[in-house]
Amino acid sequence: MPFVSIRILEGHSQKRKNEISRRVTEAISEVAELPMEAIWVVIEDVPGSDWFVAGTPVREPKGQ
């Protein structure tokens, strides 16, 4: 059973996360020739203060 873990910056709508999950599930189902019910997708929201690029947070915490 494929398990897909996706981490994205917080702030995306539930509608967008549903669409990401649907498309990822369909792609894996097609390529791996598995039923969609066998594919699990977890989307984790990560605060910008915990997401770093080149050692710098994408978003500074409020009040800093």
CA count, 13 A, side-chain hemisphere, 32: 15
Q: Any long-range contacts for 55-58 (C-beta under 8 Å, 24+ apart)?
A: 58/9
- Annotated active-site residue 35? The verdict is no
Longest dimension (CA), the chain: 50
Which one of the listed residues 2, 35, 47, 57 is annotated catalytic?
2
Active-site residue numbers? 2
